[in-house]
Amino acid sequence: MENDMYSIGELARESGLSVSALRFYDRAGVLVPARVDPVSGYRWYGAGQRAEAAVLARLRRAGMPLADIRLVLAGWSGADPDLVRGLLQAHLRRLERGLSDAREEFSALRARLDRRENPMPALPATPVHLALPAPELAAALDAIRFAAGTDPELPMLGGVLLDIEDDALRVVATDRYRMAIARTRTTTHDGPHTQVIAPLPPTDAIRALLDGEETAQLAVAGDLLTLGTGDRRTTGRCLDHDFPDYRRLLDLPTGHRARIDTAVFRTALETGPVHASEPRQQDGAPRDLSVLRVTADGTVTVCGDGDDTSDAVAFDRDYLLHALTAAARPALTLEFGTPATPLAVRRPDDEDTFSILMPVRLEN
């Protein structure tokens, strides 16, 4: 700090707001810096704004609308406690009504589930054996591992689905916000069509063995999953849960297709402007959003401050970067649907390996 001023980075650390969130609230006129360097454009905040930023962070975590946040801060700095208390109480009542309504709906849904016969999926009674090229299985796992879930409340997503068919093995991972699918051929297959979920530790152990050119031998017997390559072997237990029907999630609306140079697009994401949004629900981490617009001729641009975003779509920038890395191709195809539908990231040379990312609503 210099002369009782906070840099934007220092205020971010003090308040718990991200730098991109502070930039967003500056543009929205909610928390405007006390001084902006006319040459560098760097933002500096007064000592009194430290308390305002802390209040703002709490209101943001409580999900208060931006219009009400603006009024709360105006009342806070204006020493109008009655206004502030009224706004807080009104928002709390809205949250309580919303929670009550959600509980009623969820109770009705649970009752419907209880009335249905929905047994756990039966693990294969007949053992399944297949052989497949180790490099292809390794590439398939590398392409989807980033999308696996880690939420303990959703254990069925905390692994990789192995969908074993006659001549192919599909591997699928999802954490609800993104999903990745890859397909590899099998050279031999003995047993019925089978789906099992491999937990992440056995999945990673399997991947660690796939460092050669030999054939991999995969076997499923009951809840036991075994993979061998050469004289090495690893074994793990399958999850006794039902994986979502991923095929139902693949019917995406037709939209624009854009061919991108992966390295150029990655640089545009890493150095381009970002927009702030709420922290990720699954891990509470703050996130930066990249707002993308695709034109009719297939050009993709990253929108910046002042750009019209009415026809653009926002995505978690980290998730986009993960998808680019996992795709592992110098050129990729991006498929855009509507602002409310996922983005598909595809390899031009391999339509069976791709990922989809859910859009994120921009703060207004």
Beta bridge partners of 236: 225
In whole angstroms, what is the distance from residue 1 CA to residue 3 CA? 7
Longest CA span, the chain = 75
The CATH number corresponding to 252-357 among 3.40.1710.10, 3.40.50.2000, 3.10.150.10, 3.20.20.80 equals 3.10.150.10
For the chain, residues classed under CATH 3.10.150.10 are: 128-246, 252-357
Structure tokens at 12: 């971010």
Q: Name the nearest CA neighbour of 137 among 314, 353, 359, 362.
A: 353
In whole angstroms, what is the distance from residue 281 CA to residue 148 CA? 15
Contact 132, 169 (CB under 8 A): yes
Structure tokens at 175: 């954490």
User: What's the confidence (pLDDT) of residue 209?
Assistant: 94
| CATH architecture entry for 5-92 | Orthogonal Bundle (1.10)
Residue 342 per-residue DSSP state: P
Cα dihedral: 77, 82, 86, 88 (round 10): 40
How would you write the pLDDT of the chain (364 residues) with one tens digit per residue? 456 788 988 998 888 888 878 888 888 888 889 998 888 888 999 988 888 999 999 998 888 888 888 888 888 866 668 888 888 999 999 999 988 888 888 888 877 777 665 444 556 668 899 999 999 999 999 999 999 998 888 888 999 999 998 889 999 999 989 999 999 999 998 888 899 999 999 999 999 999 888 899 999 998 899 999 988 999 999 998 888 888 888 877 777 889 999 999 999 999 988 876 666 665 556 678 898 988 878 889 898 877 777 778 889 999 999 999 999 999 999 998 877 789 999 999 998 999 999 998 765 4
Topology annotation, domain 128-246: DNA Polymerase III; Chain A, domain 2 (3.10.150)
For the chain, residues classed under CATH 1.10.1660.10 are: 5-92
Cα dihedral: 342, 344, 345, 348 (round 10): -170
